[in-house]
Structure 1
């Protein structure tokens, strides 16, 4: 679906609830009989893959150098399996970098920006953080900012891909994702820099439209934190080798030496020392992804989790989605809020999500589902592939029960 068609469908239009939309059903006043087998719905770090135990790390190369032959082989395995599952083109470089997705994005911003004007897109907390970095830390002069409120996408028509463009694919804190990349020109002159940390392995990423893509293992793969992934297109590599930023470059960000790409970074020779336990965990997650059908299987599980929540919202008068347009609704960071039809008002309304999530946490039914601190009050349910749809299904009656408890 193109952007113009999305506009006709009303991206960002407010949700409409009518009385006939809600079939009559009794208010849940007793604790539901069944519980999620794994109550891990946190949006990061996220649920481990089904069946995971510490035994999955038994082959970790602990006590050995990551620069040893076996160490490099482990790191290269992460890169190779990642390329195969995501369908990353052979001429794109894939690197394991420090400091999670944040470190990967910062490496790209500090190393690549400044050669052209840049368009910054933001519709949630992390995207707004990248705006701050570019405008206030790098202090680039030619910066255009396209922002929107939580739940909405900014107007993408004025974005100029002959300039560099920085954006998130999926808004982790707003539950809003891009419906497509039709707005990115095939013959663009600028670079597209995409923070895809809550999209990779759960959504289709059009690699021909993306020049820099970042994510971390701790999201859809359910891996451990502190390590980021950085993918560079040939155009991004060309920029690195032909442009030197005006500012000093910290060692941890340096990807070139003598005007040439440090090729070893993209063959498993990491800039800093990685945790070989985390590396082994990432390999375990990637093997599991292959077992369930690769990217297609991962997307199917995440999409099913969203379908379950969509069905529940449709039947629930007091709840609605933060993103109103289904085309922009995330299947990983699923954000819901109190609807206009909800009778709660004032402080009771504002504090309801926190009280509801706290109650479910105490019951051991759902951990860490309160909305992000900077987002409008609401709930955020992680629906990535490592969450079993059966657990998402089991959670829905508990949401109704908890609401009845706090609203009584």
Structure 2
């Protein structure tokens, strides 16, 4: 490719990390001035703020009225693990794996919980597993959006409306940016630091009536640590879904979460958030179609994520390198962009194929995505020139 001219315009906000993610446009520390610091989280006002996070989250997402939603420790990981350790066991389990985090859940289910009747339905990076193989008689564990692969589910038709098992969905990089079919799901988890750009360590756990019935009708054969316990005396602990958190939350993070939710409401709610994320994907797709050296990691257009936008490098000189060479070249590309202040933290996830990962969630302005794209061409041209020089 010919050398690209060095761009003049940089993104106004070069934060494209896939977690923690960019703060909302216009955010400043002033947004946290209302935080109830130095107060017990069980006092009236702080507890009301926690309950407000739950109420506003339900409204923005359009969650059914009969679902329960609670704030739990340990970010999305904590929420997923609570569900796995509390609910799995009565039925066989199908685990869908197509990226790093779904693989982690499969490992935990098989080697930590040591469940015997587990089917792993997997696919390489860039693809989805055979969704037709999912059994409605089994519990199902899956991510909605593969954060490290940039591959999302196009719909939920593989989940039977009259399924006998529970559908347990890790939606951390999908919630607030994609439509979630609540009627086909039973457990949904996410964290604050993704689409709305909140601060880390807090997770959200949403349970359908079917999931609550499982909790109250099944006692796991293994011990549960305190931070995993969702029932007491055979009944779900209702306070957990009204702001009574299991452990001490950060009231600073709570205020930040509320700020993000109010911003989401100002956009028109979920529809506005989705539109912003999809516009970011469209901008990248238009550039990919003419780049000549980049392609989506997701092979099928319908499965391309609008949040964790993962790209692979298809230039012949790059694909001719061995794995170590590709990793080094891709890392050089990401490092050069950071040195120039054009993009921070956009290297591919450590377990994913070498390439780039650009966060396109709703807090990212499409104008910043468009400003970034010429920098990708410029940085790639620099790395390619270095390769030619080293090979000469």
TM > 0.5: yes
1:18 is matched with none
Q: Counterpart of 2:380?
A: 403
**TM-score with structure 1 length normalisation?**
0.92
Matched residue, 2:143: 168
Question: CA separation in 2, counterparts of 1:65 and 1:161?
Answer: 44
Unaligned runs of 5+ in 2: 386-392
Aligned partner of 1:119 in structure 2 is 94
| Distance in 2 of aligned mates of 1:343 and 1:374 | 18
Who is 2:388 aligned against? none
**Secondary structure of 2:284's aligned partner:** helix
Q: C-alpha separation between the residues in 1 aligned to 2:332 and 2:163?
A: 48
Deviation at 1:340, TM superposition (A): 5.5
SS in 2 for 1:330: coil
Name the CA distance, whole Å, in 1 between partners of 2:317 and 2:153: 29
Alpha-carbon contact 1:27-1:400 (below 8 Å) kept: no
CA positional deviation for 1:398: 0.2
The aligned residue for residue 331 of structure 1 is 306
Q: Is the 8 A contact 1:318 1:342 kept in 2?
A: no
The equivalent residue for 1:15 is: none
Q: Indicate conservation of the 8 Å contact 1:344/1:407, yes or no.
A: no
State the distance in 1 between where 2:200 and 2:225 align: 22
Query: 2:7 maps to which residue?
Result: 32
1:235 matches 2:187: no
Deviation of 1:293 after TM superposition, in Å, equals 1.3
- 1:198 corresponds, among 151, 173, 188, to 173
> Residue 61 of structure 1 is aligned with which of 36, 46, 52?
36
Q: Which residue of structure 1 lines up, in the alignment, with residue 16 of structure 2?
A: 41
Does residue 368 (structure 1) correspond to residue 345 (structure 2)? The answer is yes
What's the CA shift string for 1:150-208, capped at 9, x where partnerless? 00100011110221000000000000000000011111110000000000000000000
Give the whole-Å Cα distance in 1 for the aligned partners of 2:16 and 2:66.
Answer: 36
User: Which residue number in structure 2 is paired with residue 141 of structure 1?
Assistant: 116
Which of 252, 257, 270 lines up with 2:245 in the alignment?
Answer: 270
Q: Say if 1:344 and 1:127 are closer, same or farther in 2 by CA, change over 3 A.
A: closer
SS in structure 1 opposite 2:71? strand
- Counterpart in 2 of 1:311? 286
- Alignment match of 2:65 (pick from 90, 100, 104): 90
The question of 1:392 aligning with 2:366 is answered no
Q: Which of 221, 236, 239 is 1:246 aligned to?
A: 221
Deviations 1:117-165, CA, capped at 9 Å, x for gaps: 1101110000000000000000001111101100010001111022100
- Alignment equivalent of 1:154, drawn from 129, 142, 167: 129
CA contact (8 A) 1:121 1:145 kept: yes
Cross-structure match for 2:360: 383
Change (3 A) 1:138 1:154: same
Aligned to 1:352: 329
SS in 1 for 2:132: coil
Distance 2:85 2:215 in 1: 11
Please, what is the CA RMSD of the aligned residues?
A: 1.1
SS at match of 2:254: helix
- The 3-state SS of whatever aligns with 1:245 is coil
Q: How many residues align structurally?
A: 383
1:71-123 C-alpha deviation (Å, 9 max, x unpaired): 11000100010011000001000000000000000000000000111101110
8 Å CA contact retained: 1:317, 1:342: no
CA distance in 2: counterparts of 1:172 and 1:55, whole angstroms:
30
Q: Is the 8 A contact 1:121 1:166 kept in 2?
A: yes
Question: Are the aligned partners of 1:173 and 1:371 in contact in 2 as well (CA < 8 Å)?
Answer: yes
Cα distance in 1 for partners of 2:255, 2:41 equals: 12
Separation in structure 2 between the aligned mates of residue 317 and residue 96 of structure 1, nearest angstrom: 45
